[in-house]
Structure 1
Amino acid sequence: MARGGHGLARVAVVVRAGAAPLWWLGVVTAGLGLAVPGLTGRRIGVLAGAALFLVAAALVSYLRRGRYLALARPATRAGRHDVLQDRAVSVRDWRRGHRWWLLLAFAAALASDFAVPAAGGMLLAGCGVGLWLKAAWLGRREQEADALFWVRVDRLSRRAGRPAGKPARSYRTTGVAAGDTHRRRTGATV
């Protein structure tokens, strides 16, 4: 970045990036699992899957909320030369960085259908719902603070792409008018 600016990705967008792939992979896997009787039978598989869905959604939604709040408290205003990353770019980067993990999760859920039909797929879908809930929670925190939270792109954990990982030390903020911009400078718009 020129003159010391940094690329910034919106925290809620990065959190939500994995929700749709996990949801749809889970739905497809659960649907395919219903075609296989499995070792436990479909009824037990669906009941176990429903329990896993609820537990996964709750755990993913509430996991690390304290860390997000700890990073948001000392948040500083984005600088004039910082560049806000477009929502589509943030989502694409996350999905590109996690494509092998998503494929591995899909394969594991599909393989589990032969033992417990639909349970693995419902677990994946629950993780996707949990990410949506966490992103909605972050959106409410942004409304309360009347600011959007951004994380430096170079501080996103490279392996995991997590906005609350160890490399992230604090967030940056912009006014709510910044929205999910198309790579514009913050100084002239906020």
Structure 2
Amino acid sequence: MARGGQGLARVAVVVRAGAAPLWWCGVFAAGVGVLPPGLTGRRIGVLAGAALFIVAAAVVAYRRRRRYAALARGAARAGKHDVLQDRAVTVRNWRRGHRWWLIAAFVAALASAFAVPAAGGMLLAGTGVGLWLKAGWLGRRERADAALLWVRVDWLGRDAGGPAGKRVKAYRGTGVAAGDAAPGGARRRADALV
């Protein structure tokens, strides 16, 4: 980057990137997982899966909120030489970096159906929903503060712990019109530009 600029990725986009793959892998694994009766039987498996879905969604949605809030409060203004990464690039990088974890989780959810039908898939789906909820919370915070949150790309990685991991020292902030993703990390609609 020229003159000390940094590559920046949207925090909410990084959080949201895993939501869709986890949701769809979970739904598919739960659908297939209902077929074998398993050791516990389908009824117990589905009830256990429903409980796991709710617990996973709540845990993922609320995990590390204090850390996100502390980093957001200390966010410095992004510099004019910083490069804002496109939403599609951020999503693609996250999914490429985590594809083997996603595949392993999907296979484990399918295999668990022989013990507890559908439960593993519903756990995966709940994790995806939790990520959507967390991204939504970040979006509400961004709207309230009228500032989008960004994290340095070189602080992200498979082993970095995400956008609130130990390697992340601070966030950068921009106005709400910056980048190509709306508050919360969703695609920005053309008519939503302010």
What TM-score, normalized by structure 1, do the two folds share? Answer: 0.93
Partner of 2:80, secondary structure, is: coil
Partners of 2:44 and 2:77 lie apart in 1 by 52
Counterpart residue number, 2:39:
39
> Residue type of the partner of 1:73?
R
Residue in 2 that maps onto 1:13: 13
Aligned twin of 2:167 = 167
**Tell me, which stretches of 5 or more residues in structure 2 are unaligned?**
182-194
Partners of 1:51 and 1:180 lie apart in 2 by 36
Match of 2:107 in 1: 107
Q: In structure 2, how many angstroms separate the alpha carbons of the residues matched to 1:104 and 1:122?
A: 15
Runs of 4+ in 1 over 4 A off after TM superposition: none
> Partner of 1:100: helix, strand, or coil?
helix
CA deviations over 1:39-72 (Å, ceiling 9, x no partner) = 1111000000000000000000000000001111
Where do 1:29-178 residues align within 5 Å? 29-160=29-160, 162-178=162-178
Aligned pairs, number: 181
Secondary structure at the counterpart of residue 177 of structure 1 = coil
Question: Which TM-score applies when normalising by structure 2?
Answer: 0.91
How far apart are the structure 2 equivalents of 1:158 and 1:110?
A: 24
- In structure 2, what residue type is equivalent to 1:40? T
Residue 150 of structure 2: SS of its match in structure 1?
strand
CA deviation string 1:100-157 (max 9, x = no partner): 1001101111110000000000000000000000000000010111000000101114
Instruction: Give me the whole-angstrom Cα distance separating, in 1, the residues matched to 2:160 and 2:106.
Output: 17
Tell me if structure 2 keeps the 8 A contact 1:17–1:91.
Answer: yes
Unaligned runs of 5+ in 1: 182-190
Q: Is the 8 A contact 1:10 1:180 kept in 2?
A: no
Cα displacement (A) at 1:27: 0.3
Q: Which whole-Å CA distance do the structure 2 matches of 1:127 and 1:18 have between them?
A: 9
Q: Which AA in structure 2 matches 1:50? A: A
User: What secondary structure, in the 3-state scheme, does the structure 2 residue paired with 1:151 have?
Assistant: strand
Q: Quote the Cα distance in structure 2 between the aligned partners of 1:152 and 1:180.
A: 17
Query: CA-atom RMSD, angstroms?
Result: 1.0
Percent identity over paired residues: 78
